[in-house]
Structure 1
Amino acid sequence: MKVLQLIDSLNAGGAERVAVNYANSLVPRIEVSYLCSTREEGLLKTSLSKDVHYLFLNKKYTLDFKAISKLHRFIKRHGIDIVHAHASSFFLATIIKILHPKLVVIWHEHYGNREKTSSINKFILKISSHFFSGIIAVNDSLKTRSEHKLLAKKVYVLSNFPTINLELKTTTLHGESGKRIVCLANLRPDKDHINLLKAFNSILNTYNDWSLHLIGAFSDDECYHAINGFIEYNKLDNHVFVYGSCSDVHHILRQSTIGVLSSKSEGLPLALLEYGLAGLPVIATKVGDCNKVVSNKDEGILVEPKNDKVLAEALLTFINDVDLTRHVAKKLNNKITSSFSESSTMETLMNIYKKHQK
């Protein structure tokens, strides 16, 4: 079996980390594991195993015929059996399927906010789904939506799994040790960093020695300017730090005290699993499958989305009770290592591949 993971970039986002994790984990399990980044390279390129065969297309346009031809030739030359397309790479995978009819295309749905995408995007995805051999969704709600809205006959649920890279140690967090709140999420509207900033700003009245650390890719767009504007307006420059995309996630989390996600929508966020694996107490919003990771009060705190007051209360709960933070961090760590393991996830993935291999 020869499998290629297809992803639009190697920036340090959730879908991108999943694609890299899958490519690396498949190395000992299949004949050859490949990964293709279509539009951009990025920090995660350094996380790829040397045994993963890598291709970069440098795709410039939606219909970039040079990039399409390059990928088609690559698949034909290497005899690739399965293309596992992640997130927005589905359109290119569909074109390649049309050019190479025997190819198996599995599409991986990571995006919990799919319903809010444009009508044309939904239409293109629906037409493309006719060519998918199967769809993998990261939670039950995305599975149900894919079954009702798309045309693929088989839809599966497969949880993400976190990994640890102990070698990468490049980022040093600002702020006082033991008093750092971290948010591992690209700076996009659905991650609702403004809600988190409002909550954090309110607790500074009592705890002005704590700091907030935003880890994630950003663009020079309205969302970034809103976040930056809030920081400047509220004079938070000495308390809130924006790092951009970072590859040494585990090293960053080991320097942190509390892990937070304030999203309006999610699938099953890899960040929560990484928080738990790193031994952090977790606060997250009740969206997507966050409740499957933090399923009770012994594993963390879940709060309503878009409500900075309850988020601030949750932060204060952990700040004021060190014994509680240790307890929930340990419980969540035990759950992540037992229920979201690499071995169980890859066994399920291999079974999906085998069902569709011709």
Structure 2
Amino acid sequence: MRVVQIIDSLETGGAERMAVNYANALSNRITFSGLIATRSEGMLLYNVHEKVSYQFLNKKKRIDIKAIFRLRRYLKENKIDFIHAHSSSFFISVLVKMTLPKIKIIWHDHYGISQDLTLRKDISLKLGSLFFNGIISVNTALKKWAESYLFCPYVVYLPNFIDQSLNSNKKLSLFGSQGKRIVCVANLRPQKNHELLLRAAGLIKNKYPDWTFHLFGKDFNDSHSEKLKKILETSKLQSNVFFYGAVNNVVSALEQSDIAVLTSLSEGLPLAVLEYGLQKLPVVATNVGDISKVITNEKEGIIIEPNNIEELVKSISGLIDNENRRKEMGEELYKAIMSNYGEEVIIREYISQLKSLINFAALREI
């Protein structure tokens, strides 16, 4: 089996990381595993394993003929069976399939605003789905949406997973006191609701002045970012809240942290929660997307309603006051993630689905 992952960039977003995770995981399990970035590279390039065949297309515009033919040449030279197209990279995948009709396209839907999918309309995606051989959805709501809205008869749900081979050889230097750090991994986008986290930090500071918040994620230097920095300044939180931007060794930050939070207003299946659990951190997260399918009971973590400042502060304070509970919760979440979201479990199912898809396609041709 010969599979290539296609993604627009290698910046530190969830879809981008999953493209790299799949390429890395498959490199030891199938005949050929490739990875293609279409528009730009980024920090995740340093996480690509040596056994993965990597190509950068340097695509300049929506329909870039040169990039399409670079992709076509790569696919032919490497005798690719499956294009695994992540998010918006479906577009160039469909264009190249028109020149190589035997290649199969798997589209991976990472859409993170899955609270109200009735508002999600995308005509180009709907038309493109006519050329899809299969769809992977990262949560059950997205699966139902694909089945009802798109023109592809083969849709499966596969949760995200973490590349366990990535390590933290390069240690990050964090502010604050050891044993008193609260971490959040989320790009600075409105749906991640950092505003709620900053409000909570102000209240936590009053009772626990030695505890600090450490925020990791891409800063887009836009109006939303400026708003967050303004809140930080006016609330006088500069000594308790620290923004680090995007890093390629977030595992190091998690290893130095004691409590993990995610205050999102919407999600698909966030990698952050899986990363938290893999490092045995106690987690406070909002009840959005498929988070409740990861944290299934109060022993594994604390789930609160979105935008509820009282619940957030109470939950964090309770964990600060009870070190034993923090350790027990981290251990339980780790066991749950290894059982249900471990790389081996997901990749085994993925390869099985590809084989089923081949049989499904053969039956349709009869």
| TM bucket normalised to smaller | over 0.9
In 2 relative to 1, CA 194–59 (structure 1 residues): closer, same or farther, beyond 3 Å? same
Residues in 1 aligned to 2:119 and 2:327: alpha-carbon distance in whole angstroms: 46
- 1:91 and 2:91 matched: yes
The one-letter amino acid paired with 2:214 is H
On the 8 A contact 1:286/1:304 being kept in 2, the answer is yes
Residues in 2 aligned to 1:261 and 1:119: alpha-carbon distance in whole angstroms: 24
Aligned-pair distance for 1:6? 0.6
Which sits farther off after the overlay, 246-255 or 63-72? 63-72
Aligned-pair distance for 1:65? 2.1
The one-letter amino acid paired with 1:217 is K
TM-score by length of 1: 0.95
- The two structures, once aligned, show a CA RMSD in angstroms of 1.8
On the 8 A contact 2:201/2:241 being kept in 1, the answer is no
In 2 relative to 1, CA 271–146 (structure 1 residues): closer, same or farther, beyond 3 Å? same
Which sits farther off after the overlay, 325-334 or 120-129? 120-129
Which sits farther off after the overlay, 40-49 or 296-305? 40-49
In 2 relative to 1, CA 117–341 (structure 1 residues): closer, same or farther, beyond 3 Å? closer
- Give 4+ residue runs of structure 1 displaced > 6 Å after superposition: 115-121
Aligned-pair distance for 1:64? 2.1
Aligned to 1:130: 130
In 2 relative to 1, CA 128–114 (structure 1 residues): closer, same or farther, beyond 3 Å? farther
Aligned-pair distance for 1:259? 0.9
- 1:153 and 2:148 matched: no
Aligned to 2:240: 239
- 1:214 and 2:215 matched: yes
- 1:223 and 2:224 matched: yes
The one-letter amino acid paired with 2:153 is K
Residues in 2 aligned to 1:25 and 1:171: alpha-carbon distance in whole angstroms: 26
Residues in 2 aligned to 1:329 and 1:120: alpha-carbon distance in whole angstroms: 36
Structure 2: segments with no counterpart, 5+ residues = none
Question: 1:214 aligns to what SS in structure 2?
Answer: strand
Cα deviation 1:38-97 (Å, max 9, x = unaligned) = 112111111111010001112222222222221122112221111101122121222122
Aligned-pair distance for 1:121? 6.3
The one-letter amino acid paired with 1:297 is E
Aligned to 1:189: 190
Matched positions, count = 358
Cα deviation 1:165-204 (Å, max 9, x = unaligned) = 2253242211111111111111111111111111121111
Aligned-pair distance for 1:116? 7.2
- 1:268 and 2:257 matched: no
Residues in 2 aligned to 1:31 and 1:327: alpha-carbon distance in whole angstroms: 41
1:65-76 → structure 2 map (5 Å cutoff)? 65-76=65-76
The one-letter amino acid paired with 1:27 is S
The one-letter amino acid paired with 2:333 is L
Cα deviation 1:236-288 (Å, max 9, x = unaligned) = 12211111111112111101111111111111111111100101000100001
In 2 relative to 1, CA 44–351 (structure 1 residues): closer, same or farther, beyond 3 Å? same
Residues in 2 aligned to 1:138 and 1:117: alpha-carbon distance in whole angstroms: 14
Percent identity over the alignment? 44
1:15-164 → structure 2 map (5 Å cutoff)? 15-113=15-113, 122-164=122-164
Residues in 1 aligned to 2:193 and 2:353: alpha-carbon distance in whole angstroms: 34
The one-letter amino acid paired with 1:243 is Y
Which sits farther off after the overlay, 188-197 or 48-57? 188-197
Structure 1: segments with no counterpart, 5+ residues = none
Aligned-pair distance for 1:118? 12
